[in-house]
Amino acid sequence: MYFSEKLIEGRLIKRYNRFLADVELRSGDKITAHCPNSGSMKSCMEPGWKVMLSDHDNPKRKYRHTWEMVHNGACWIGINTGVPNRIAEEAIKAGEISELTGYQEINREKKYGRNSRIDLLLVKPGQTCFVEVKNVTLVESDGCYYFPDSVTERGRKHLNELMMMIDAGHRAVMLFIVQRNDGKYFRPAAHIDPQYAETLRAAHRHGVEILVYRAEVLPEKIDLAESVAWRLD
């Protein structure tokens, strides 16, 4: 996934109100940018860290810039939760996710479950596959990737709806896209949201497949890189 325009570099001053962040640009100007991430962003937002912003010259936008990624001194971290869906769709079309090849049709945001929309709906003769995509940005002191980084009732709802699709005779996949490269393997964040962790384990027992892939995050582009080992304990 290439960015349509060159990203703008700055330094994080602070993130507040979940959806806003103050940034000092290289020019010295201080601006407020939209933060497209409603989670806690733990391990992703130390003041002074380098950030990259996209620029949207749209008069209807209140904030012209969008915070796309941050550098923690070791790697770039993609914080835009809307990006993993694009990464996943492109990777599936290119045959880069071996578990999700052979589908003739890829649809986004189709209604399903209890008033929800599935991130990706894959279709081939004789099979429909529901794919829910989540963005992973948290690495803890043990070096593991974790999701979620805050309590998520919506995430539990999506897992329950994937189980409903299994009951209806379909294939269902929970796909985690890790947007950083400084971790070892993936685990559900039971220390943050024990209910989500237990629901993920229940969904896996129910037949929902779990896939974890890491993306290579760079200011020029973000592409799927490799599968990541995972554990549910």
Contact 228, 186 (CB under 8 A): yes
SS3 content of the chain, % helix, strand, coil (to 5): 20, 40, 40
Q: What is the pLDDT of residues 49-82, one digit of tens each?
A: 999 999 988 788 889 999 999 999 999 999 999 9
Q: What is the pLDDT of residues 178-200, one digit of tens each?
A: 999 999 999 999 999 999 999 99
Which of 92, 167, 94, 88 is CA-nearest to residue 132?
A: 88
148 preceded by cis ω (within 30°)?
A: yes
pLDDT, residue 1, reads 85
- Go through the chain and tell me how many residues it has: 233
* Entry pTM: 0.95
For 196, counting Cβ atoms within 10 Å of its Cβ (0-12 exposed, 13-18 middle, 19+ buried), the class is buried
Domains and their CATH numbers in the chain: 8-74 (2.40.50.580), 83-227 (3.40.1350.60)
